[in-house]
Structure 1
Amino acid sequence: MPSMWAAPQIRVATYNASLALNTKGELAAVLRPGTYFRAKQVAEMIQIIQPDVLLLNEFDFDVNGTAMTRLNDKYFKVSQNGRPPQDFPYRYTAPSNTGTHSGFDFDNNGVVDDTPGDQGYGGDAFGFGEFEGKYGMAVFSKYPIDVDAIRTFEEVLWRDLPGNLLPTSWYDEDERGVFRLSSKSHWDVPIDVDGRRFHFLVSHPTPPVFDGPEDRNGRRNHDEIRMWADYLREGASAYMGANFPVGERFVIAGDQNADPVRGDSVNSAINQLLDHPRVNASFVPERSGTSSESAKYNTATFSLRVDYVLPSLAGFEVTGGAVFWPISPQPGWNLFGASDQDHRPVYLDLEMLPFAHEVIRNLTLIVGKEIVTLEWEGEPDLGYEVQGSPDLGGDSWGTLDGLEIVWQDGVARVEIARSAAKEFLRVKLVEP
């Protein structure tokens, strides 16, 4: 049986692929023959990058997931210009607020436009889109997705966010009563990698532009980014109807439409994630082919860093990553060029470090007259320590020194003199 300590190595990528077309169902239709040029370009990029888990932004939603299946089967799985085929057998998509009509005049042009196909309709939708599902999202994974545990937050109301930036001068009381915070959606997608789980937290906040002095899109972008920050902060996400599980890994991914220092975002919105105590933002992916300090972190042709892959501080070690922006003669240098291809893929390489609950199993306490014995199943090649405390909920946990851990057939055994044992005992992993 393989050791659970064989730390999985995964590559996680995000890409705003600009696969948003003009009419509902059009994307699935053009993907059907396997010859759609733009999709072939995207597929070749993915075959060069070879991610294990991938988020695509601006990928039109259809209720049966037909477009997603065709992109995988007719493009990713088919070699493009000799590149190695990639197969993502586990996939997920769900409805998006883009193009979902509200029944209100959200753009304040005096007309409630409920006819799909024009900008007036898009302006009155919960998220801008000329038809339902435009600018959606899709997750592709080489590892199993726990579909039953997925959480989606597309119906969370903006007004329910404490201290929100919702512009009351623009939206009247009735509109505020239905207006959704997420312009597309926010998904928590649990993915299981060789016995270890991480939560893929994906979203695509609205650009902080295309509005007026009320700055409704800039404010919304800020609060959409804040939603993930709140979800990860204990006691801050009651308005979402859920809290992020304690002791779990996560990776935040997506086109956040916010640069840390430049652009039009409100109050450096992305710093709500970059400075979050549970987020590891220390590794900043770079593009090749530029010596400019200001340009090397850009992820888009409009000279901003807006696309992110941000892992949790706990449970991951970042081993590499990049902005896929090749220059000649690097592989894929010729895959960009059209004016609508304004984003570049971003990826991180991650090593999944173990949590105690993943490797310490069947912990047993045996109390004798003079000796207290702890036994557990685990991995002998990891480091462990036994801690004790007189108070289960206090801060007085301390390591019991001088103990010998003896292993036999995958079972650890340690004996503690009762005089040295505390009221409560626990076993913790020691950082490798």
Structure 2
Amino acid sequence: MALLWATIATADLRIATWNADLSRDGPGLLLRDILSGKDPAVEQVVQGLLHIRPDIVLLTRFDHDLNGVALAALADRLGAGGLDYPHRYAPAQNRGLPSGRDLDGNGRLGDPDDAQGYGRFSGDGAMALLSRLPVLGVQDYSGFLWADLPGARLGHVPPAARPLHRLSSSAHWDVAVALPDGRGLHLLAWGATPPLYGARNPDRNHDEAAFWWHLLDGRLPMPPPPAPFVLIGLPNLAPGQGDPAAMQALARHPALQPPAHGASALLKSGPAPLSLIQPSAGLRVAASGVYPDQAVQRMVWLDLVLDPAPP
């Protein structure tokens, strides 16, 4: 561990997020594929992480299981390649969480779209965080009700479902990790629903980004995260799909660095981000990029300079 701190203290802190293909058709299948060593999508993730070697990585499409067995198996594969992630965060999330209501309004109960977040089973395509840095604490906003968001776009949510319909399709987290100098770095992580499918999804995608804007602006009944922090995850926007207004407003928030070249890492499809990492104002960015250069699902990464803490 002393070697880890020495390495980070003299170099950049590398953060990454990857909307990799680590979701399967049923529970337990992802673990099977990780253990097999033969699944192309899993092997691409393993080799990609071993190549880029981020200190922290957020996976935004990773099947959750109750005891974190699949995530532990992936961490073991990476550890065998010399990349250790002793700290992990992947609690139960909204993906596949039964609501008991007809959320999609089709007259049937128990459809994947009746779950709090779309899911064919509990944890289908959820999020997972791997970190070489200790986790100091977590604020999990995944239970926040959509109706409690200022200006919530609820036009396609059945009125009977509004008192229980959560905003997050997967999760909204504030995960604080320990920097070597004792400070905490807050990771504001989320994985939004794609706006292309379903009547609710364009509005939900918009409001999942708007949540962070309202939180940073002090409009929600919980305190804004202290600096330094990094906005990280999957806005899941593409041209002609959904309304990018909330994401554009969030990107320009004065608490964040402007999304100029080199100040953030974005995987883009046209003018809208699919995945991003955007640091708070005051953090210094050394480099950013995507990996691999040519692929449908790519990792985005960003290097931060760890300036000394103020006296």
- TM, length-normalised to structure 1: 0.66
**Counterpart contact for 1:284–1:297, Cα < 8 Å:** no
- 1:173-252 matches, cutoff 5 A: 173-194=159-180, 195-212=182-199, 216-233=200-217, 235-238=218-221, 242-246=222-226, 248-252=227-231
Tell me the equivalent position of 2:79.
Answer: 77
**Counterpart contact for 2:237–2:273, Cα < 8 Å:** yes
Tell me the equivalent position of 1:160.
Answer: 148
Question: Which of these residues, 254, 258, 268, is aligned with residue 233 of structure 2?
Answer: 254
Mapped partners of 1:41, 1:144: distance in 2: 26
Tell me the equivalent position of 1:269.
Answer: 246
Give RMSD over aligned pairs: 2.4
**Counterpart contact for 2:103–2:158, Cα < 8 Å:** no
Q: Deviations over 1:94-138 (max 9, x none)?
A: 11211111111112221112xxxxxxx211111111111011111
Q: Deviations over 1:45-93 (max 9, x none)?
A: 111111111000110001111111100102x1234xxxxx311111111
Tell me the equivalent position of 1:279.
Answer: 256
Shift of 1:145: 1.1
- 1:394-405 matches, cutoff 5 A: none
Aligned length: 303
Shift of 1:267: 4.8
* Letter in structure 2 aligned against 1:46: L
Mind listing any 5+ residue stretches in structure 1 that lack a counterpart? 80-84, 114-120, 287-295, 328-335, 337-341, 361-432
**Counterpart contact for 1:158–1:176, Cα < 8 Å:** yes
- 1:13-52 matches, cutoff 5 A: 13-52=16-55
**Counterpart contact for 1:9–1:352, Cα < 8 Å:** yes
Q: Which has the higher helix share?
A: 2
Tell me the equivalent position of 2:304.
Answer: 350
Q: Deviations over 1:132-153 (max 9, x none)?
A: 101111111111112xx21111
Shift of 1:35: 4.1
**Counterpart contact for 1:207–1:217, Cα < 8 Å:** yes
**Counterpart contact for 1:16–1:57, Cα < 8 Å:** yes
Tell me the equivalent position of 1:307.
Answer: 275
Tell me the equivalent position of 1:150.
Answer: 138
Bigger Rg, which one: 1
1:63 aligns with 2:42: no
Mapped partners of 1:40, 1:111: distance in 2: 39
Other structure's SS at 2:135 match: coil
Mapped partners of 2:128, 2:233: distance in 1: 11
Mapped partners of 2:183, 2:279: distance in 1: 15
Mapped partners of 1:166, 1:7: distance in 2: 48
Tell me the equivalent position of 1:368.
Answer: none
Q: Deviations over 1:156-179 (max 9, x none)?
A: 101111221111xx3333201110
Shift of 1:285: 6.0
Mapped partners of 1:324, 1:166: distance in 2: 37
1:318 aligns with 2:306: no
* Letter in structure 2 aligned against 1:58: R
- 1:363-374 matches, cutoff 5 A: none
Mapped partners of 2:271, 2:24: distance in 1: 24
Mind listing any 5+ residue stretches in structure 2 that lack a counterpart? none
Other structure's SS at 2:85 match: coil
Higher relative contact order (CA 8 A, sep 6+): 2
**Pair 98,325 (structure 1): closer, same or farther in 2 beyond 3 Å:** same
Question: Which of these residues, 118, 125, 144, is aligned with residue 115 of structure 2?
Answer: 125
**Pair 285,66 (structure 1): closer, same or farther in 2 beyond 3 Å:** farther
Tell me the equivalent position of 1:388.
Answer: none
Other structure's SS at 1:272 match: helix
Other structure's SS at 1:12 match: strand
Tell me the equivalent position of 1:139.
Answer: 129
Mapped partners of 2:253, 2:281: distance in 1: 10
Tell me the equivalent position of 1:389.
Answer: none
1:12 aligns with 2:15: yes
**Pair 222,49 (structure 1): closer, same or farther in 2 beyond 3 Å:** same
**Counterpart contact for 1:204–1:255, Cα < 8 Å:** yes
* Letter in structure 2 aligned against 1:196: R
Mapped partners of 1:297, 1:311: distance in 2: 12
Identical-residue share of aligned pairs (%): 33
Mapped partners of 2:68, 2:11: distance in 1: 29
Shift of 1:39: 1.3
**Pair 86,27 (structure 1): closer, same or farther in 2 beyond 3 Å:** same
**Counterpart contact for 1:202–1:252, Cα < 8 Å:** yes
